[in-house]
């Protein structure tokens, strides 16, 4: 597929205004340093740049080479793109002598262009090579992994990352299928799953959970999220905001639990001789939990599962 064809794939940024508004860029904060952890096609980054002052700065991250190519088209001295996961945030900021940032936005999951481009292998709706890597310059493809992994591991990935109750049957079918013919295309995998899954929720393709699970595993999405959240908090200035948009329950659970761990600090036994001033204090406060409006979902059905959580670092919070 040519570059011009690839550019035909468009992406509608979910919760665009709400996410950038949550960073609270008004006043003195417009001169701060911000991070867009997932550039994607740049919707959030471009809106942040519109609101940043002349001395503000935005550092964006993405693993996808197509996203990087898109980001390089932005001619703005306040903006820089890093070809890596937001899990590398702490190291990349330190390399630039940045100790604190005023806000961090993380829009998780995959973008519409990634899904719609059959050549990426993320979707079962069009036939294409079974790749699924966000960064095609690193790691192994889904096809390479399925060709060599044992049945038990495949089952665990599909069960744990896809919350798939037919994981046993699907893994067994995959191993049997690869003995007949290498599983190298999305259609092959989708057909194998469809034959293994006998029932499914109305309107849901049998392969949905399996494709989600393998994609998450191949790209280490949940591991990167846990590392990225910890790194983001460590870099956040007092009153700095973290804005995280998730699209499925596994991601949202991690975000929710992380924020809760910073808000609900366990207190020691009251009978212990500890001064009030020395008691553990909350490190963050929750600002908002927002879902797309009915109007946005009607305009962009892929927004329907999005949940945005916002938290702010409190002054004096421990690192």
Placement of tokens 């761990």 in the chain: 261
Sheet holding 79-83, edge to edge: 79-83, 57-62, 33-36, 101-107, 236-246, 307-313, 284-290
**Which stretches does DSSP call E strand in 171-306?**
236-246, 284-290
Radius of gyration, alpha carbons of the chain: 21
Backbone angles phi, psi at 218, to 5 degrees: -60, -40
| Helix ranges, 126-185 (H) | 142-148, 151-162, 167-180
Binding region for S-adenosyl-L-methionine: 42-44, 62, 86, 107, 114
Give the burial string for 249-268 (b: 16+ CB within 10 Å, else e): ebbbebbbebbeebeeeeee
- For residues 17 and 11, give the distance between their C-alpha atoms in angstroms, rounded to a whole number: 15
- For residues 133 and 280, give the distance between their C-alpha atoms in angstroms, rounded to a whole number: 42
- Is 73 in contact with 45 (CB distance < 8 Å)? no
Burial of 84: CB neighbours in 10 Å, binned 0-12, 13-18, 19+: middle
- Is 14 in contact with 303 (CB distance < 8 Å)? yes
- For residues 212 and 189, give the distance between their C-alpha atoms in angstroms, rounded to a whole number: 12
Q: Which helix (H) or strand (E) holds 59?
A: strand 57-62
Binding region: 42-44, 62, 86, 107, 114
- Is 114 in contact with 125 (CB distance < 8 Å)? no
């Amino acid at each position: 597929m040519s570059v011009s064809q690839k550019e035909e794939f468009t992406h509608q940024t979910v919760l665009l205004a709400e996410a950038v508004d949550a960073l609270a860029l008004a006043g003195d904060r417009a001169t701060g340093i911000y991070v867009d952890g997932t550039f994607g096609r740049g919707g959030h980054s471009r809106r942040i740049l519109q609101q940043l002052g002349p001395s503000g700065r935005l550092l964006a991250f993405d693993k996808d080479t197509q996203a990087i190519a898109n980001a390089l088209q932005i001619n703005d001295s306040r903006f820089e793109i890093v070809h890596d996961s937001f899990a590398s945030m702490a190291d990349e900021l330190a390399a630039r002598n940045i100790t604190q940032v005023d806000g961090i936005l993380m829009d998780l999951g995959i973008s519409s262009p990634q899904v719609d481009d059959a050549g990426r292998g993320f979707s079962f709706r069009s036939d294409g090579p079974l790749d699924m890597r966000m960064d095609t310059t690193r790691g192994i493809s889904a096809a390479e992994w399925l060709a060599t992994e044992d049945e038990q591991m495949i089952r665990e990935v599909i069960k744990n990352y896809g919350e798939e109750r037919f994981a046993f049957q699907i893994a067994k079918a995959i191993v049997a299928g690869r003995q007949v013919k290498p599983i190298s295309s999305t259609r092959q995998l989708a057909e194998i799953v469809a034959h293994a899954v006998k029932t499914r929720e109305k309107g849901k393709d049998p392969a949905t959970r399996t494709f989600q699970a393998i994609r998450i595993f191949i790209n280490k999405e949940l591991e990167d999220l846990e590392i990225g959240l910890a790194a983001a908090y460590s870099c956040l200035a007092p009153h700095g905001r973290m804005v995280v948009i998730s699209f499925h329950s596994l991601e949202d659970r991690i975000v929710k639990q992380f924020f809760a761990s910073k808000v609900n600090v366990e207190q020691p036994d009251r009978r212990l001789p500890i001064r009030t001033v020395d008691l553990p204090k909350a490190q963050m406060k929750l600002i908002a939990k927002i879902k797309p409006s009915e109007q946005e979902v009607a305009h962009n059905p892929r927004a329907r599962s999005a949940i945005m959580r916002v938290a702010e670092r409190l002054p004096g919070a421990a690192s």
